[in-house]
Amino acid sequence: MMNDNAQNLRQSDLAHYMHPFTDTEALGKEGGARIITRAEGAHIWDISGNKILDGMAGLWCVNIGYGRKELADAAARQMNTLPYYNSFFKTATVPSIELAEQLAARTPAGLNHVFYANSGSEANDTIVRMVRYYWELEGEAQRQIIIGRNHGYHGSTSVTASLSGPHMHGQGGVPLPGFSHIAAPYLFGADTELDAEAFGIQAAQALEERILELGADKVAAFIGEPVQGSGGMIVPPASYWGKIQRICKKYGVLLIADEVITGFGRTGKWFASELYDIKPDLMTLAKGLSSGYLPISAVIVGDRVANTIIHKGSEFVHGFTYSGHPVSCAVALENIRIIADEGLVENAATVGDYLQTRLRDLKDHPLVGEVRGIGLLGAIELVQSKSPRRFFETKGEVGTRCRDHCFANSLVMRAVRDTMIISPPLMFSKAHVDELLEKARKALDSTW
């Protein structure tokens, strides 16, 4: 590709394309976007021909890796047979039924019903309506409030940004009323003498305190990502989820697991709910469901909520033109087949262990305050001083610089404030981990 072409595209991009989560003016000052043109396995290429290791699997989603022709073939087959039909008004399509059956079989016991949407945001938006409708049908319409957590991320529609932590609040009338947030189980960020397990119990206890403050009869549900992702990759202590579940049960509060990132193998299990023995009433899935090859998401609804809606309710007045899109469903089915047949969940566990061990090698670096992670999720938290621990007052400026140095070293790592995030494709090998860490260390040295 010619450089002139790249330059022209960058200018058109700046002139016409409003990117999500982007300061366009700042992007312009930096010369514009890096344009990605192709990808294979765990690598992407930019328009200038640079080969870059994708340590983020796109946006935590390309679980099977890039370039899997089987998915393109599945899409083409379905497009040639039935490119579109809806699941409104008493119709369905073969792939949407088969995928619902697969999802019911693969997710934890009791989650047997699937409601489709097109993104993680839409799935979580659907959940908010669904749980409130459930309580209306149960004769407790005053149960409206949904409790989420600081550092939580559940999407960027007005409703799901409200559901997300305060870092998503403040623009465009968000948060809406009806949402409440408690602290995250973020040990490294906490000023505490407690050990991890005691801290986990204390962090969960905040849920009970909030329920009592709000009035148990007002609380509809609690939502959490089993491992918090884009709010800073926060791995909960082992004690946390058990206590959260006991509290939800005690007050009849529905438990929602947002597995948009953690689903489909990322933590070394099919779903992180298995890892922490979480038995959610509802679960949301997206990203790894199709490995990002096409947009699709799903709410997996447990029997308790589904039976009420099906048997006590009438029509649930909710859905999208593309809910259960047959091409997306066909691609998701092929994606799940590949994850299962190629043992990618097991690979995520094995290579994930290696990643976690190798990440610890970075602890000697003067910028690194903590490394943490689970499976093929990793985080490197940068600090101004290790002992006593001091975070950067510039809040994110150093992380952004480190991310830019990574890119210059042909590595994609994401920065959440001053925490560097790793979430690569699940087909990552130990050699990929070595490549990633070598480039990461160079980027840390350049940042320092």
Which of 55, 58, 95, 120: binder of ligand PLP (CB under 6 A)?
120
* Separation of alpha carbons 15 and 18, rounded Å: 8
Q: How far is CA 170 from CA 161, 174, 175, in A?
A: 10, 6, 7
* Separation of alpha carbons 174 and 401, rounded Å: 29
The answer to whether residue 121 forms part of the interface with ligand PLP (CB under 6 A) is yes
The answer to whether residue 415 forms part of the interface with ligand PLP (CB under 6 A) is no
CB of 232 to ligand PLP, least distance (A): 12
Residue with nearest beta carbon to ligand PLP: 120
Q: Which lies closer to ligand PLP via its Cβ, residue 124 or residue 323? A: 124
The answer to whether residue 231 forms part of the interface with ligand PLP (CB under 6 A) is no
Q: Given the DSSP bridges, would you call strands 368-374 and 377-382 parallel, antiparallel or unpaired?
A: antiparallel
Segment lying near ligand PLP (by CB under 6 A), choices 134-142, 255-263, 324-332, 396-404: 255-263
Which of 41, 95, 155, 292: binder of ligand PLP (CB under 6 A)?
155
Amino acid sitting at position 175: P
Q: What is the 3-state secondary structure (H, E, C) of 349-378?
A: HHHHHHHHHHHHHHHHCCCEEEEEEECCEE
Which of 114, 128, 261, 368: binder of ligand PLP (CB under 6 A)?
261
Q: Which lies closer to ligand PLP via its Cβ, residue 120 or residue 378? A: 120
Q: Which lies closer to ligand PLP via its Cβ, residue 258 or residue 418? A: 258
Cβ-contact 254, 282 below 8 angstroms:
yes
Q: Given the DSSP bridges, would you call strands 377-382 and 419-422 parallel, antiparallel or unpaired?
A: antiparallel
The answer to whether residue 260 forms part of the interface with ligand PLP (CB under 6 A) is yes
The answer to whether residue 232 forms part of the interface with ligand PLP (CB under 6 A) is no
Q: Exposure string (b/e) for 357-380, b if CB count within 10 Å is 16 or more?
A: ebbeebeebebbbbbbbbbbbbbb
Amino acid sitting at position 221: A
CB of 76 to ligand PLP, least distance (A): 24
Which 197-226 positions form the footprint of ligand PLP (CB under 6 A)? 225
Which of 208, 258, 281, 334: binder of ligand PLP (CB under 6 A)?
258
Nearest residue to 108 (alpha-carbon basis) of 328, 313, 259:
259
The answer to whether residue 293 forms part of the interface with ligand PLP (CB under 6 A) is no
User: For ligand PLP, what does the binding mask look like between residues 342 and 381, x meaning CB under 6 A?
Assistant: ----------------------------------------
Segment lying near ligand PLP (by CB under 6 A), choices 98-106, 114-122, 327-335, 351-359: 114-122
Cβ-contact 44, 34 below 8 angstroms:
no
Q: Is 139 left (phi over 0), alpha (psi -120 to 50) or beta?
A: left
Q: Which lies closer to ligand PLP via its Cβ, residue 154 or residue 372? A: 154
List all residues 6 or more positions away from 397 whose beta carbon is below 8 Å from its beta carbon. Answer: none
